[in-house]
Chains A and B, each alone.
Chain A
Amino acid sequence: MSGSMTTGPERWLAPILLALALAACGTKQVMVQSEFPSPVMNKLPLTIGVWYDDEFANHEFFDEASGRAESSWLVNTGQAQVELWDTLLKGMFRKVVYMNGKPGPGQMNPVVDAVLLPEVDELQYAIPAHTNVKVYEIWMRYRLQLVTTGGEPIADWTMPAYGKTPTAFMQSDEGAVRLAAIVALRDAGAHFASSFTRVPAVAQWLDSLPRAGEPARQGAQP
């Protein structure tokens, strides 16, 4: 049977199936975008500075396929990271100020009580093809530094965040990984909001502030 004798649907169906088969071997790209709710809590009476370096603001994770049957993954979380931390900090602190540059000696920055420097230290993902469990997972570890405007360290700690989503209601691997990443980001916000004042070095610093009284400490620990 010649190609000219094929009917309409068969003409376009075969190329589409071929394209889908080839696409399965390419890089799966996930752009994580979401809006995050503002935390419901009494604001800490602090003016906090924040500095997102380029690596954080454009954070992406790339995992190269280990075999021909697998796909490479590129997960961009930078935009969502900035969206989350902007919303979170504005809900947690009396005032949030963006720094002109990374705090350090000689760097001109607005005067604030402290500057938070968030960093994604590590990101891992798991999909059902890896684990045989019908759950998509994203695990992140943040490194958080609280410094003075001069760059002197106040606190330096790590914070894990985890998100998972079942396969049942998702259409694609990319969609499920995107949703798992959003859940992980929400978890990061929940973890930070509920534990910030309990980080020992932060608690010690808050106690050392003349205006850091009990009401402020209780605000983040309902």
Chain B
Amino acid sequence: MNLRGLAIGACLLPWLAGCVNSTVDQMVFNTPGAEGIGDASVVILGRRHASDYETEPDFIRCVGNHVSSRDESISVIGELEFLNALYPWFEPRTAPLRPADLERLLEHDDVARTFANLQTQYMIWIDGSTVRNDSAGSMTCGIGPGGAGCFGFGTWSNDANYEATIWDFSNRAEVGRISTTASGQSYMPAVVVPIPIIAPVQGTACDSIGDQLLEFLSPNYPETP
């Protein structure tokens, strides 16, 4: 009976999650309106200029998947696909920092042609990262002929801070900024088996920023009952 209880508990453990606090601010102009973006596409790119952090590629993927999965009419170009299609003009060293810089890029025929093929209407730059702070506690693990196990307790907090800047490609203008912060405390008690209680901080930040982008891009969002 005890073994059965342990087994059930072990199966449920991954579903335990810590709490996350999240805040979102947004300021947008010139939304696409009721007709949405039509056949045009959106590209979501990570800013990678800072020396001490880097916007995580998996976060960019997460936001892109969030947007495209909730409104299938929105075509989101993959970050790497876009970077490769326009190499080397969107690498960290060469990426435009202001919408006006796009004009200079488009003076080049091949770049303009590629943009036309991709039908990019909005370019969304995301800058930020998730960092781990305030780790505490200790855990000891051992292994021997009779078995293996851990004992102890660990805790840490994660803080996510991201800002999305929306560029309207056709007007070469910035049309919105969305920022989100999220923080959460994770715990890992261990009595023989470590029990991770992880706060999904980055996932919450992804959902927050994705929802705000959907409100901007999609005429069907937020869904009305």
Contacts and interface: CB of A to CB of B under 8 A. Distances in A.
A6 B147 CA distance: 9
Given A39-B87, A40-B87, A194 B93 contact: yes
A3 B58 CA distance: 45
B25 interface: no
A168 B84 contact: no
Nearest to B83: A37
Contacts of B56: 166, 168-169
B53 A166 contact: yes
A79 interface: no
A13 B143 contact: yes
B130 interface: yes
Given A135-B54, A165-B54, A169-B58, A1 B146 contact: yes
Interface stretch (B3-11, B30-38, B107-115, B188-196): B107-115
Interface string A1-35: 10101100010011001000000000000000000
Contacts of A13: 143, 148
B151 interface: no
Contact of A40 (B52, B92, B107, B114): B114
A191 interface: yes
Interface in A25-54: 36-42
A187 interface: yes
Nearest to A161: B93
A134 B83 CA distance: 24
A184 B88 CA distance: 13
Interface string A187-211: 1011101100000000000000000
A6 B89 CA distance: 60
Interface residues on A, range: 20 to 34
Contacts of B111: 40-41, 222
A186 B145 contact: no
Given A168-B130, A191-B93, A186 B109 contact: no
A37 B52 contact: no
A65 interface: no
Interface of B: 52-54, 56-58, 83-89, 91-94, 104-111, 114, 129-131, 143, 145-148
A190 B129 CA distance: 24
Contacts of B94: 190, 194
A133 interface: yes
B159 to A, nearest CB: 13
Contacts of B87: 36-40, 186, 189-190
A164 interface: yes
Interface string A155-172: 000000000111011000
Contact of A189 (B88, B92, B106, B114): B88
B107 A222 contact: yes
B110 A1 contact: no
Given A39-B87, A42-B108, 5 more contacts: A37-B87, A166-B129, A168-B56, A190-B87, A190-B91
A10 B88 contact: no
Nearest to A2: B145
Contacts of B146: 1
B114 to A, nearest CB: 6
Residue among A165, A168, A194, A219 with max Cβ neighbours from chain B (10 Å): A168
Nearest to A189: B88
B114 A14 contact: no
Given A1-B146, A10-B145, A40-B111, A164 B89 contact: no
B132 to A, nearest CB: 8
Contacts of A190: 87-89, 91, 93-94
10 contacts: A3-B145, A10-B147, A37-B87, A39-B88, A40-B86, A40-B111, A135-B53, A169-B56, A189-B87, A222-B111
Contacts of A193: 88
Contacts of A36: 87
